[in-house]
Structure 1
């Protein structure tokens, strides 16, 4: 596992709010928000990830199930696809995150990470 960055979990509200103001990519299974941290904020070798599901996703059981699936997808994809020094927030979608096939969820996350790291050109 040398060369794979360690995953850490976001816990502070300020980190979630900062990610909300940064880049994002929507997929059928969830919304991904990502931002590059400043060097002074946290260990620059870590990939940090946070998870959230609003009450729109369902009751507590449904929200927890959706977050469990997002956590597993992040554990499988972000050590390889995520970049050290970045924060990622995965936001569950109502009727999609818990029901989507897991392989599709993994593909969604790979696609979303590529999308937030690909520079977009502005059209005039």
Structure 2
């Protein structure tokens, strides 16, 4: 999604509790901007994860650069769409990594 990335990992430990984590890199902005983005992500998770999250899974929301300017209603719709895709079993294909060059 344009405002964030959602990663979901099924723990497969039999515990139905949903866990959530938030991260915003320094590329997004200074500490004030990153903390504001994390607060927005927490509010989204508080609203949508209890109903749309995957039980027994870890959910990680990674804030993107354009997420701080996006409207809250738009971010809510995007997270709902992302959770629906995860629930249906759809996911983005894994991108192949380029080969590593040895360090000398």
Q: Given that residues 54 and 87 in structure 2 are in contact (C-alpha distance below 8 angstroms), is that contact kept between their aligned partners in structure 1?
A: no
Q: CA RMSD in A?
A: 1.5
Q: Gaps spanning 5+ residues in structure 1: where?
A: 1-26
TM-score (norm 2): 0.81
Q: 1 CA distance for matches of 2:51 and 2:41?
A: 16
For normalisation by structure 1, the TM-score amounts to 0.69
**What stretches of structure 2 of length at least 5 have no aligned partner?**
92-104
Shift of 1:118: 2.1
Distance 1:120 1:110, change over 3 A: closer
Q: CA deviation at 1:120?
A: 4.1
Residue deviations 1:14-64, cap 9 Å, x none? Answer: xxxxxxxxxxxxx11100000111216xxx121110000000110000000
Q: Which of these two proteins has the greater Rg computed from alpha carbons?
A: 2
Q: Does the CA-based 8 Å contact 2:6-2:60 persist in structure 1?
A: yes
1:118 corresponds to: 88
Aligned with residue 38 of structure 1, among 12, 29, 33: 12
Deviation per residue, 1:54-108 (Å, 9 max, x gap): 00110000000000000000000000000210111000001x2111100111111
Q: Distance in 2 between matches of 1:69 and 1:120?
A: 25
